Amino acid sequence: MAMQSLPIARLLLGLILSIPISYFAYRAGSLSASGILGAVLVGTATFGYGGWSWGLLLIGFFATSSALSQYRAREKEPLAEKFAKGGKRDLAQTIANGGVGAALAVLNFYFPSQFWIAAFWGSIATASADTWGTELGVLSSRRPRLITTGRQVAVGTSGAVSGLGLLASLGGALAMAVFEIFLFWSLGPQITLGMGSAAIISGFAGSLIDSLLGATVQVVYWCPLDEVETERFPTHNCGTPTIYYRGWKWLNNDGVNFLATLCGSIVAGGLWTFLG
Ligand SMILES: [Zn+2]
């Protein structure tokens, strides 16, 4: 059996590159301390098993997402009471966004196929579409609506969408698709235009799945003092203990992000099978 062994040299190089990038992101306020560990794990595996094109795509996604989190950060500060975490990504968040991609890099290393590349593009496009949709969508002057019922809800509510947010999601998927085509065309194995189209469609679809799960099954808590829905548990940022409000208790925002990137990669792999 001609199975390749561990790509030790490349894993080491991935580790050597991931540590300073993660530390820089930590100092810039984009990662928490545990987020450094997550980013180093995801970065080392993705670069080690995927190589330069996979690793640079991950860095490109991470850099643009972090920049968007910092963009007009002061206007987003009031929303911190809604979201489980601030702009600093922690261990669970980095795994939720990059874990599927890292697993696909491992699969592609041992069983090389364009299918895994298409799926990887889909997972990154989904994570990007979701981040752009959230970080730019919350700046919308109009109140968003729940993706399920169309009911107007407060900005930052799980599962809420706005015209600006949807447009931003599409932009996030499109931007990653362009970057993916450029990177893999110049550095990587042969690619097809079908893979680029699959990335755009799957990224947008994945972000819609993210909103759908957020509106239906994601766990949401309630602050009795402020009388608002929040992702924060066990205490709201006002200090009041939050109580269970709706959704599956085991499925938090990180779980939803993980499922969305998984769905995005499956959609992309499926589309690649048809489009080539
Ligand atoms: Zn409160």
Give 159-226 as a DSSP string. TEE-HHHHHHHHHHHHHHHHHHHHHHHHTSS---HHHHHHHHHHHHHHHHHHHHHHHHTB-EEEETTT
What type of residue is 124? I
pLDDT at 80 over 80: no
Q: How far is the CA of 230 from the centre of ligand 1 (A)?
A: 9
Long-range CB pairs of 85-89 (<8 Å, 24+ gap) are 85/32, 87/29, 87/30, 88/29, 88/30, 88/31, 88/32, 88/35, 89/30, 89/31, 89/32, 89/35, 89/38, 89/39
pLDDT at 148 over 50: yes
Residue-level pLDDT at 187: 87
Q: How far is the CA of 164 from the centre of ligand 1 (A)?
A: 28
pLDDT digits (tens, 9 = 90+) for 7-41: 999 999 999 999 999 999 999 999 999 999 999 99
Q: How far is the CA of 82 from the centre of ligand 1 (A)?
A: 9
Helix (H, G, I), strand (E, B) or coil at 156: coil
Q: How far is the CA of 222 from the centre of ligand 1 (A)?
A: 8
Q: How far is the CA of 220 from the centre of ligand 1 (A)?
A: 14
Q: How far is the CA of 229 from the centre of ligand 1 (A)?
A: 9
Q: How far is the CA of 15 from the centre of ligand 1 (A)?
A: 41
Average pLDDT over residues 170-176: 98
Q: How far is the CA of 217 from the centre of ligand 1 (A)?
A: 22
Q: How far is the CA of 53 from the centre of ligand 1 (A)?
A: 45
Separation between Cα atoms, residue 84 and residue 36, nearest integer Å: 18
Q: How far is the CA of 224 from the centre of ligand 1 (A)?
A: 7
pLDDT at 93 over 50: yes
pLDDT at 257 over 90: yes
Q: How far is the CA of 236 from the centre of ligand 1 (A)?
A: 5
Average pLDDT over residues 202-219: 97
Q: How far is the CA of 239 from the centre of ligand 1 (A)?
A: 7
pLDDT digits (tens, 9 = 90+) for 33-64: 999 999 999 999 999 999 999 999 999 999 99
pLDDT at 4 over 70: no
Residue-level pLDDT at 170: 98
Q: How far is the CA of 176 from the centre of ligand 1 (A)?
A: 37
Q: How far is the CA of 210 from the centre of ligand 1 (A)?
A: 25
Q: How far is the CA of 76 from the centre of ligand 1 (A)?
A: 17
pLDDT at 2 over 70: no
For the chain, which residues make up each domain, given as ranges? 8-275
Separation between Cα atoms, residue 95 and residue 253, nearest integer Å: 12
Q: How far is the CA of 108 from the centre of ligand 1 (A)?
A: 46
